[in-house]
Amino acid sequence: MDSTKKKRLETLLYSTIGIAAMALVLVAVNLIASPVRQRIDLTAEKAYTLSPGTRAILAKLDTPVQIRFYCTKNTATMPVFLATYAQRVEDLLGEYRQASKGRIEIQRLNPEPDSDAEDSARLDGVDGQQTRTGERVYLGLSVGMLDQKQAIPFLTPDRERLLEYDISRAIARVMTAEKPVLGVMSPLPVMGQSNPNPMVQQQQRTQPWAFMSELMRDFNVKQVEVTADKIPDDIKVLLVIHPKGASDSMQYLLDQFVLRGGKLIAFVDPVCALDRPPTAPGQMPPSSSSSLDKLFKAWGLGFDTGKVVADMEHVAQLQQGPNPAVLALNETAINKEDVVTANADNLLMAFAGTFSGTPADGLTRTILIKTSKHSGLVDGMTASYAGGQIANELPPSSVEYPLAVRLTGKFKTAFPDGNRSRLLPPPPSLSRRRNRPRRSRNRLSQARWC
């Protein structure tokens, strides 16, 4: 597989994991209206009710939070649809103020040209947007607590269903002086690696993958080795990327992490494009699949590591020609109503697997990414080495295959008898290849999470 194809295959992680990992607070998306002190919500969707997640955040406030709401008041300048949305934002901010019992202070500022309010907006990171008439209008806010500050540069009506989430996330971030801890477990060198070179005195070190560098801006990222016997208590969210050959000991560790309330984001692969060790001519390449079979079984999920999904409606155009097993997904394949994937518009997924089965009792499944109905399952080896043949061999189907799912609810252990396995050798990893010079790779080729 040449470098051009690999770069295309590596796009997904920017689009997916970046969104998932940035979710500090998973709050429901609700709409707020009437600013009266006592509110009765008669809507089917509880549209005028702050979510429990938001109320939990506000209950933890012990220091006043200042929200500066920058909004252009000039009706001749402000487009009608933005003025209408501004009222919606102001109503919601009033709901926050009431629910916080006085711990949130709201200040509305009108950033007219060359005014102190406009200077304040710029210092707070709130940007003006130019209208068709050339006028600049402001509709953004800044959230501050002590020396911490977060800005939403411009509030767009396109994100109205995520308005509460955006505001609550900003409040949660200023409440935390230290970066939240994020754990990462993978045999792939996602955190960078040392490449000892006997010809030089100092070791050469590759940089972390690009998506990991982005996560480090907002999180205290801690690496957890695949052979670890404990996940640190301060890790509440754990990313497991390509757990190839996951042992019982490793899966038991993840099982206990979930049972203690940890959030697990698992990226598994039937064919990992970045796990392709060199082979001799005529030699069969080793498997590059990964799964968490015991956990998935306990949770009611199936994941066939021998099959990948081909989709005739989402065919990626590669340099070598179209390959239906490399999926160029658009908004029709993405759950735009879920906060995790709402910002994703286009994804590239290479040799994607699919989840089957019915969630175990007590669990609820949400499909985040899916194929079209013009898709089917093909052999992973065929897809990766003879993708051009798939279009002629793909059987007709009317199934929309889940590519990424989220499970929520009460999980039961996959090890009711405890961890009876002895300490096993580490799962097959890339450790033997870590000391070899290699091209820098910044993203995982394809992922599914639960």
Residue 30 within any structural domain of the chain: no
Cβ contacts of residue 385 below 8 Å, gap of 6+? Answer: none
Residue 414 within any structural domain of the chain: yes
Same domain, 116 and 261: no
Same domain, 191 and 130: no
What are 324-336's pLDDT values in tens digits? 989 999 999 999 8
Going through 307-445 in order, the beta strands assigned E by DSSP cover 307-311, 315-318, 321-329, 347-350, 355-356, 363-370, 375-379, 402-409
CB 359 within 8 A of CB 292: no
Domain residue limits at 216? 3-22+180-433
In 3D space, the residue among 302, 315, 294 whose CA is nearest the CA of residue 270 turns out to be: 302
What are 111-149's pLDDT values in tens digits? 999 999 999 999 999 999 988 888 899 999 999 999 899
Give percent of the chain with pLDDT exceeding 90.
52
Question: How many other β-carbons are positioned within 10 Å of the β-carbon of residue 198?
Answer: 5
- H or E element at residue 54: helix 52-59
Residue 164 within any structural domain of the chain: yes
Residue 318 within any structural domain of the chain: yes
In 3D space, the residue among 347, 227, 246 whose CA is nearest the CA of residue 287 turns out to be: 246
Same domain, 224 and 335: yes
State the pLDDT at residue 194: 54
- Work out the pLDDT band at 380, boundaries 50, 70, 90: confident
Same domain, 145 and 231: no
- Work out the pLDDT band at 39, boundaries 50, 70, 90: very low
Look-up: residue for tokens 């994100």?
159
Same domain, 70 and 127: yes
Residue 33 within any structural domain of the chain: no
Question: How many other β-carbons are positioned within 10 Å of the β-carbon of residue 373?
Answer: 14
Residue 29 within any structural domain of the chain: no
Same domain, 195 and 221: yes
DSSP-assigned states of every residue in 238-270: EEEE--TT--HHHHHHHHHHHHTT-EEEEE--S
φ/ψ region of 332 (left if φ > 0, alpha if ψ in -120 to 50, else beta) reads alpha
Domain count, the chain: 2
pLDDT exceeds cutoff 50 at 429:
no
φ/ψ region of 101 (left if φ > 0, alpha if ψ in -120 to 50, else beta) reads left
Same domain, 255 and 378: yes
State the pLDDT at residue 240: 97
Residue 46 within any structural domain of the chain: no
Same domain, 149 and 190: no
Q: Can you read off the two tokens belonging to residue 189?
A: 């060198």
CB 139 within 8 A of CB 71: yes
Same domain, 170 and 96: yes
Q: Can you read off the two tokens belonging to residue 31?
A: 């709409």
Same domain, 205 and 353: yes
| β-strand pairing of 136-145 with 148-152 | antiparallel
What are 77-117's pLDDT values in tens digits? 899 999 999 999 999 999 999 999 999 999 999 999 999 99
Residue 56 within any structural domain of the chain: yes
State the pLDDT at residue 54: 92
State the average pLDDT for the chain: 80
* CATH classification of the domain holding 111: 3.40.30.10
- Beta bridge partners, 204, equal 195
Which of 146, 175, 204 corresponds to the end of one domain?
A: 175
User: What are the CA-CA distances from residue 102 to residues 26, 50, 436, 450 (Å)?
Assistant: 24, 16, 59, 38
Nearest-5° angle of CA 220, CA 291, CA 9? 70
Q: What is the dihedral of CA 77, 81, 87, 92, to 10 degrees?
A: -130
- Work out the pLDDT band at 282, boundaries 50, 70, 90: low
Longest CA span, the chain: 75
